[in-house]
Amino acid sequence: MRSKHIFAYALFLLAPLLGANTDDTSLIKSGATLQKLAGGFAFTEGPTSDKQGNVYFTDQPNNRIHKWSTDGQLSTYMEPAGRANGLFIDSKGDLWACADANTELWKIDKNKNVVVALKDYTGQKFNGPNDLWVARNGNIYFTDPFYARPWWEHKTPPQDVQAVYYLSKDRKTLNRVAADLKQPNGIIGTPDGKMLYIADIGASKTYSYQIEKDGSLSNKKLFCEMGSDGMTLDNRGNVYLTNRAGVTVFSPQGEKLLNIPVDESWTANVCFGGKDHQTLFVTASKSLYAIDMNVKGVKP
pLDDT digits (tens, 9 = 90+) for 116-166: 999 999 999 999 999 999 999 999 999 999 999 999 988 999 999 999 999
* H-helix or E-strand spanning residue 15: helix 2-18
Looking at every residue in the chain, the average pLDDT score rounds to 93
pLDDT in tens, 228-276: 999 999 999 999 999 999 999 999 999 999 999 999 999 999 999 999 9
Tell whether 284 is covered by a domain: yes
- Per-residue confidence (pLDDT) for residue 300, from 0 to 100: 63
Strands in 179-299 per DSSP E: 184-189, 195-200, 205-211, 217-224, 231-233, 239-243, 246-250, 256-260, 269-273, 279-284, 287-292
Tell whether 3 is covered by a domain: no
Give CA–CA dist 15/50, Å, rounded.
42
Q: What is the CATH number of the domain that holds 179?
A: 2.120.10.30
Tell whether 196 is covered by a domain: yes
Tell whether 8 is covered by a domain: no
Tell whether 261 is covered by a domain: yes
Tell whether 72 is covered by a domain: yes
Domain count, the chain: 1
Quick one: DSSP state of residue 17?
H
Give CA–CA dist 195/96, Å, rounded.
20
Tell me which residue range forms the domain holding 72. Answer: 29-292
Tell whether 256 is covered by a domain: yes
Tell whether 5 is covered by a domain: no
* pLDDT band, residue 290 (cuts 50/70/90): very high
Q: What percent of the chain shows pLDDT beyond 90?
A: 90
pLDDT in tens, 187-223: 999 999 999 999 999 999 999 999 999 999 999 999 9
